[in-house]
């Protein structure tokens, strides 16, 4: 194997643990030449003189990257590559083929068998080391992302479990209080507590429990429904909170056609929009003490639900951050915002085939609009 001379020395990294590179070639001199470069570049080397030996050594120790000769007697590089991809231990290990320049016409077969890159012989030392470094860094990044995803899934399971217990205690307490003779305002407040706790439990089951256990993107089941009862229930639950802030809630609907939606997702969006209006839509001027919820069929032929207030609105330079995860707008810290509510609401709207956006309200204030597709005759149950 001819190696073009290098014009600069390579030194191993001092801090990071050394990566293990499996070098597979039926010529011992080739392995020695490539191995010397890799060691000089700060890597550990695991040699293999045949495809069979390479597979055996991978069972003993999983490499971080494989440099694989394309043409070998017996099991060639293509077969070795395919078998490494079939093995769960090595399925994600990057494989770089070492190939002669005249073999470029078979590179498509190499990529089809699972290779991520190739280096032609004779090669420049810096090029080989640069490609090895690039693919090791890519693999390290993928591994970190996979670990973070696993940790997040495990964390959601812990959160779901730990939240269910206190919520169950709240429900038991409300059931005990419900047996007592309560006056109308107290009974209404108790019902609100019970309904809120039940919604929290449902949210945990669907959004944390089942979602975290699935590797597939979460979807929602849609059905034809009218939205007025959902909007009325949401306002009834939030009215005591609004009144405590000196605000009133008003619902206006000219139309109530059936839409294709998910009741729990829609309730979650409305709860979030109205809650935000209560928290941030402080009064400013005449009529500022009313949060207005309207629902009508718009010019797009979809049902448009709007939540408007007469507060200060959202600064123009913050419009682009409204629906970003974990981005809290100025003033949100005082309201204990997580920076997730609007982002999740927008995702829920899009899963239902709708859309959620913000615009400044005419006359001052904030206006959030949610559009949902109308149900058709084909959407009705047989």
Higher pLDDT, 94 or 191: 94
Classify residue 218: in a domain, yes or no: no
How much is the pLDDT for 334? Answer: 46
Tell me the average pLDDT across 119-123: 81
How much is the pLDDT for 96? Answer: 92
- The answer on 268 and 175 residing in a single domain is no
Q: Which of 169, 184, 213 is the last residue of a domain?
A: 213
Distance CA 116, CA 96 (A): 6
How much is the pLDDT for 7? Answer: 42
Is the pLDDT score of 253 beyond 50? Answer: yes
Is the pLDDT score of 13 beyond 50? Answer: no
- The answer on 359 and 266 residing in a single domain is yes
Q: Which of 213, 233, 249 is the last residue of a domain?
A: 213
How much is the pLDDT for 9? Answer: 41
- The answer on 270 and 165 residing in a single domain is no
pLDDT in tens, 291-329: 999 999 988 889 999 999 998 888 888 888 888 877 776
pLDDT in tens, 40-92: 989 999 999 999 999 999 999 999 999 998 888 888 888 999 999 999 989 99
My answer on whether omega of the bond before 305 falls inside 30° of 0, hence cis, is no
| Contact criterion met (CB below 8 Å) for 375 and 260 | yes
- The answer on 332 and 300 residing in a single domain is yes
How much is the pLDDT for 210? Answer: 55
Is the pLDDT score of 121 beyond 90? Answer: no
Is the pLDDT score of 4 beyond 50? Answer: no
How much is the pLDDT for 52? Answer: 93
- The answer on 346 and 264 residing in a single domain is yes
- The answer on 228 and 203 residing in a single domain is no
Tell me the average pLDDT across 208-216: 52
Q: Which pLDDT band holds residue 287 (cuts at 50, 70, 90)? A: very low
Higher pLDDT, 120 or 136: 136
Classify residue 49: in a domain, yes or no: yes
- The answer on 178 and 85 residing in a single domain is no
Classify residue 129: in a domain, yes or no: no
Higher pLDDT, 196 or 282: 196
- Please give the residue range of the domain that contains residue 205: 149-213
Is the pLDDT score of 282 beyond 50? Answer: yes
How much is the pLDDT for 167? Answer: 76
Classify residue 3: in a domain, yes or no: no
> Whole-model pTM?
0.55
Classify residue 314: in a domain, yes or no: yes
- The answer on 169 and 313 residing in a single domain is no
CATH code for position 232? 3.30.565.10
> How high is the mean pLDDT of the chain?
82
Is the pLDDT score of 184 beyond 90? Answer: no
How much is the pLDDT for 165? Answer: 63
How much is the pLDDT for 218? Answer: 57
Is the pLDDT score of 11 beyond 50? Answer: no
Q: Which pLDDT band holds residue 252 (cuts at 50, 70, 90)? A: very high
- Taking residue 292's Cβ as centre, other Cβ atoms within 10 Å add up to 19
Give which of 58, 56, 69 is closest to 28, Cα–Cα: 69
Classify residue 38: in a domain, yes or no: yes
Distance CA 145, CA 147 (A): 5
Is the pLDDT score of 273 beyond 80? Answer: yes
Helix residue ranges, H only, 12-74: 28-40, 51-60
- The answer on 363 and 254 residing in a single domain is yes
Classify residue 139: in a domain, yes or no: no
Classify residue 1: in a domain, yes or no: no
- The answer on 59 and 15 residing in a single domain is yes
Give me the number of domains the chain comprises: 3
CATH code for position 100? 3.40.50.2300
- The answer on 306 and 236 residing in a single domain is yes
How much is the pLDDT for 366? Answer: 93
| Contact criterion met (CB below 8 Å) for 343 and 277 | no
Using CB atoms within 10 A of its CB, is residue 285 exposed (0-12), middle (13-18) or buried (19+)?
A: exposed
- The answer on 107 and 76 residing in a single domain is yes
Rg of the chain (C-alpha set): 31
């Amino acid at each position: 194997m001819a190696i073009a001379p290098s014009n600069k020395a390579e030194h191993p990294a001092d801090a990071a643990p050394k990566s293990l590179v499996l070098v597979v070639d039926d010529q011992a001199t080739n392995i020695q030449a490539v191995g010397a470069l890799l060691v000089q570049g700060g890597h550990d080397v695991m040699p293999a003189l045949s495809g069979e030996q390479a597979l055996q050594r991978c069972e003993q120790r999983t490499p971080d990257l494989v440099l694989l000769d394309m043409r070998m007697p017996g099991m060639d590089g293509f077969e070795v590559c395919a078998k490494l991809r079939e093995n769960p231990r090595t399925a994600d290990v990057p494989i770089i083929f070492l190939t002669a320049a005249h073999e470029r016409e078979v590179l498509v077969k190499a990529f089809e068998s699972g290779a991520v890159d190739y280096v032609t012989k004779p090669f420049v030392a810096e090029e080989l080391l640069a490609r090895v470094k690039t693919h090791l860094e890519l693999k390290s990044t993928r591994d970190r992302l996979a670990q973070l995803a696993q940790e997040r899934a495990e964390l959601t399971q812990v959160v779901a479990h730990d939240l269910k217990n206190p919520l169950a205690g709240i429900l038991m307490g409300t059931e005990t209080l419900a047996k007592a003779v309560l006056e109308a305002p107290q009974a209404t407040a108790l019902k609100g507590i019970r309904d809120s706790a039940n919604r929290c439990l449902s949210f945990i089951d669907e959004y944390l429990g089942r979602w975290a256990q699935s590797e597939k993107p979460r979807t929602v089941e849609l059905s034809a429904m009218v939205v007025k009862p959902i909007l009325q229930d949401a306002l009834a639950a939030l009215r005591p909170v609004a009144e405590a802030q000196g605000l009133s809630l008003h619902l206006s609907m000219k139309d109530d056609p059936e839409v294709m939606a998910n009741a729990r997702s829609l309730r979650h969006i409305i709860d979030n929009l109205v809650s935000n209006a209560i928290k941030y839509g402080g009064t400013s001027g005449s009529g500022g003490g009313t949060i207005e919820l309207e629902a009508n069929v718009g010019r797009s032929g979809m049902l448009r639900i709007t939540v408007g207030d007469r507060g200060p609105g959202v600064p123009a330079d913050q419009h682009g951050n409204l629906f970003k995860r974990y981005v809290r707008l100025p003033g949100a810290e005082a309201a204990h915002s997580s920076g997730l509510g609007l982002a999740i609401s927008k995702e829920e709207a899009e899963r239902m085939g709708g859309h959620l956006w913000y615009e400044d309200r005419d006359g001052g204030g904030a206006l959030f609009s949610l559009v949902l597709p109308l149900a058709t005759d084909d959407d009705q149950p047989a």
